[in-house]
A and B are shown apart, each in its own frame.
Chain A
Amino acid sequence: MELIDQHTKKIMEGCKERARDAGLRFENETLEYIVTNRDLLELSPKLMIPTLYDYWVHDVEVIKEKRRYELYPSNPYETVINTRPVISFYNDNNPDWLNVMIFYHVIGHIDFFQNNLYFRHTWDFDFTGQALSDKRLIARLRSEKGRWVDYLIEFARGIDNIVGYHQELSRLDRPAPTEASRRLDYYFDVFLQTEKKAKVHEYIKEIERYNEFMRTLGALGAKAFFAAVIAKYPEFEALYEKSQEKKPPKPFDLLQFFMDHSPLLNKDENLWMKSILQVVRKTSLFFQPQIRTKIMNEGWASYWHEKLFLQDDRIKGHEVDFARVNAGVTAMPRVGLNPYALGMRLFYFLEEIGDKGKYDPAFRRLSNIKEREDFDHKTGKGQDFIFNIRKTLCDYLFINNFIDQDFVTRNKLFVAGRRLNQSRGVIEYFVKSRKAEDYRAMLNAALYHPPHITIDAEKSGNGSLYLVHRFEGKGLVKDYIANTMLGIEYLWGAPVHLETSDLGEAPSAGDQPIYPFGPPVTQGGEKQKIKRWQRTLYTMEKRKLTKKVISYHSA
């Protein structure tokens, strides 16, 4: 791994200058390395972080199941990594013009990493430096504790997708406290709505009344208002006091929970284990945002590499080369999803919306297609609009807020269905729907989404731990449950329960029917089974897994 030469570095610096003029904002220092196949071989299992801790699984071919990204929600093989300074990796034989295009793309990513709020928790430190000290820590522990370090890493990694990423973000990026009093917030936001179930007109009348008090009495208004409230609702004060008592949030971050509460990990001789959990947790948190912003991040980078390179004089003589490479990156596939293409189109679309002032209730009220098309308030706010979006949203919000019918229709998008054609022995792809809501639903189903698993303190008795998986229409991968729970039992030091849902066979409804003229030939020869969801309790005790059905979901 060596740095790019001075000539190429100069190209990069030229790109940075132009990108800054266009409004992108990023730190000045970057490191660009040339990587060979051999380097990549070492880097890709470590998620391109050269200093990541060593772990034997990195040396093994890991079976890549479908939706492997659910297991490894980080890009294993990426060009830019979000470190300080940002590091990026290059082929050594890229021609200069291609490097210009790639550099613009890379700068798009850097701008995204350093401005999108979902990366907020990565802004204040350099992950490679952090990883290096973690790597040394783990190496030192390994020399003291031997293979047990690797077991700990394994068990901790088994639950590293259940970390409190959003809690971490909200801790860092709290909105400024509001001026209004808590009592007032409670009265209008909770008491009237939840406790009293006030009707809308009553609610509005209350607001009017409050405003009236404030108008006539000024500074004393609030006090007088609440005196009146208490006269009307004597219980208000008590309820308010109660609401202010802090309720501990349901623990969601399993790794943090174990570090804080596991009796086993908190024994003096086991304290070293906590530092391993800490390393795994921090590493996981660092990688969380990438996958949640894949469409936006790639879309943003593609938008800028196209826009900036087309304005760049260094494209001269390579217009056709660029067109070809760029089409390979940003063409919409006939069937399939391409985050580069989708994200880029959505940013262009949103820029236009901003420019024409379409992000406005006046536009939304229009239903006439012609009027919608001609709508143009010439506000010219397109750039502001997309810069704001790149700062504040993640893929989920990006898709669900902005993929509307106009976008779907303009880009000729559709949901493609897949079905088996038995007689011809082929899988057919067909246009299933051109509705925006279906397209959004399809995208939502494809987005990364780890299971939501919390700890139920009430059901965790006798030192055991009771985990609850909230059912969201999908079960867990059954094959993985045993080993994951084995690890959790080890970390907790006592039996562990997991309540989840799986598809089971419905209790049989009598024997098979009798066919007097021979059985019908079922397709594929499989017996038709009726399946339904059942709530299941897995228990891991002394490294033995047992399972029982506790209830059935209502059909």
Chain B
Amino acid sequence: MKLEDYYHEIKARGLSAERDKMMREEILSAGTRETELPQLASRPGPGKGAASGPSGLYDLNDQMILQGQAPPLATYTVGLKSIDELLSRDKQREADGFPRKIRVGRLLKPGKGKQGNVVVVPTTVEEKFIHDPNATEDQEDSVGGSGAGEEGEVIGEQPIHGPDMPGTEGPGEGEGAAHELESSAYDLGKILTEKFELPNLKDKGTKRSVVRYTYDMTDKNRGFGQILDKKATLRKILETNMTLGNVPDVGNIDPTRFLISPHDKIYRILSREKDYESQAVVFFLRDYSGSMAGKPTTLVVSQHILIYSWLLFQYAMRVESRFILHDTEAKEVPDFYTYYNSKVAGGTKVASAFHLVNAIVEKENLAKDYNIYIFHGTDGDDWDTDGKETVPEIKKAITYANRIGISIARHAYGAKSDSEVEKYLKRSGLLSEKPKLIRMDAIPEDADEPRLIDGIKHLISE
């Protein structure tokens, strides 16, 4: 097994007891843990409520249960109309000295294929003093039931990773009925740029390339074509008639006496135009090793979807995205869905991911035609403890990339000290030498979405 070979290789180089322990734990966990990220809960309604777990005392109401009327659904346009107003109000709050209250909730709705949906809902919470159902010593959870069965008998089960499992919400998601507004990632990018004041990209003059042709009625043609250019035709006819001596007095032209040759008719015809535009390719790199299970993955992926949306808006949809997952080895995956949902594997080697990016860029000659962005998400753990392999790969990437952003989702238990990746990045001096090209953001494990957006500002600002 490659993983273990690699482990022994590192061990031969010498390891602290603590590192050794952590690594062994990760190897042990390889393949045993399954962390599939949650998907959005579907809307419970009458008749299908059973799928979303047992109903509580206050979940049912007359409108639903007696009249079969599902909760009303807000439309997309209603939501977007209000979001402008809401966000300006939120800005005013900050100016008045109160914390902001609007959040962008329910971010991701991954679909198979490249067209992942992003769901944007402005959400808020009305804070009150209420009891926290989770803050009790008695962790066991019980509900009511009825029917046959002996005490102790198992009467049913529910998959943990089912789409409707309470308690597995992604960022900003709540449980229960949702008025979701479906939007494209492009719209989210717009909101992020305009309302959350993410910076606009400067036009990179040097990296322009032919991306497409547009067709326009620009060419002129005599004799035939799609549209008669009346002004040009008249001019041509006048010219011909003057040559023929058919215009005796230029001060007093009588058009009825004109001779009109079919050849004088000037038409416009469709022509192909070259269009020069910037375009970008974004590499999303994610550590999916054992230690990433749970919250770090959610954080990293949420941040990546926000970045993706922002770039999509900045480049007016001309963004190609590539997704790379790595543990000790890196692989490219075809879509965001796979990127988001892939299960956790074994150890960690950050260098492998950057190596793969470098290889792809070189092979496809991307650096010439594209603005290249690389975003890497990790929990900061790397078996290559002092970055001997990683730092050179990053240095290579810096030569062509517009920006490399590294997000580190710190584990709660290690939050006080820097993680390996942080340590060797700082030591390499890259962050301070080339602040325009490489940025790092360390996110605490309990980060919320405003924190993620702040992190993005840091990662992508000029």
Contact = CB atoms under 8 A, between A and B. Distances in A.
Contacts of B161: 425
A428 interface: yes
Contacts of A66: 133, 166-167, 175
Nearest to B58: A69
A416 B145 contact: yes
A535 interface: no
B88 to A, nearest CB: 11
Interface residues of B, number: 96
A52 interface: no
B124 A60 contact: yes
Interface in B126-142: 126-133, 135-138, 140-142
Interface string B73-106: 1100011001000100100100011110011010
Interface stretch (A1-9, A129-137, A157-165, A233-241): A157-165
Interface residues of A, number: 123
Nearest to A435: B151
Contacts of A427: 157-160, 165
Contact of A451 (B34, B129, B149): B129
Interface stretch (A116-124, A355-363, A386-394, A442-450): A442-450
Contact of B127 (A41, A64, A68, A484): A484
Contact of B28 (A151, A338, A429, A521): A521
Contacts of A298: 60, 62
Interface stretch (A25-33, A71-79, A194-202, A369-377): A71-79
Contact of B160 (A63, A329, A425, A481): A425
B450 interface: no
A57 interface: yes
Residue of A161, A446, A519, A525 contacting most chain B CB atoms (<10 Å): A525
Contact of B128 (A41, A159, A430, A431): A159
A418 to B, nearest CB: 5
A89 interface: yes
A143 B108 CA distance: 39
Contact of A159 (B129, B150, B290): B129
A503 B86 CA distance: 36
Contacts of B123: 60-63
Contacts of A414: 144-146, 149, 151
B347 to A, nearest CB: 14
Interface in A331-348: 332-340, 342
Interface in B169-187: 172, 174-179
A411 B146 contact: yes
B1 interface: no
Contact of B60 (A80, A338, A431): A338
Nearest to B121: A61
B245 interface: no
Contacts, number: 330
Q: Is the interface of A mostly helix, strand, loop or mixed?
A: mixed
A158 B135 contact: no
B111 interface: no
A79 B144 contact: no
A308 interface: no
B81 to A, nearest CB: 9
A60 B72 contact: no
Given A428-B154, A480-B127, A94 B82 contact: no
Contact of B145 (A71, A413, A451, A486): A413
Contact of A61 (B66, B122, B157, B158): B122
B254 interface: no
Interface string B32-47: 0110000000000011
B29 A60 contact: no
A102 B66 CA distance: 7
20 contacts: A44-B72, A56-B89, A57-B124, A59-B86, A63-B125, A71-B126, A77-B63, A79-B61, A147-B92, A161-B129, A335-B145, A337-B144, A340-B60, A417-B142, A427-B158, A431-B145, A474-B136, A477-B135, A480-B129, A503-B135
Among all A-B residue pairs, the 5 with the closest Cβ atoms? A336-B54, A475-B135, A416-B145, A79-B62, A480-B127
Interface of A: 37-38, 40-41, 44, 56-57, 59-72, 75-80, 89-91, 94, 101-102, 105-106, 109, 147, 151, 154, 157-162, 291, 294-295, 298, 301, 325, 328-329, 332-340, 342, 411-421, 424-434, 439, 442-443, 445-451, 453, 469, 472-484, 486, 502-503, 515, 518-519, 521, 524-525, 527, 531, 533, 543
Given A56-B86, A414-B144, 7 more contacts: A44-B72, A62-B125, A80-B62, A340-B60, A414-B146, A417-B141, A427-B158
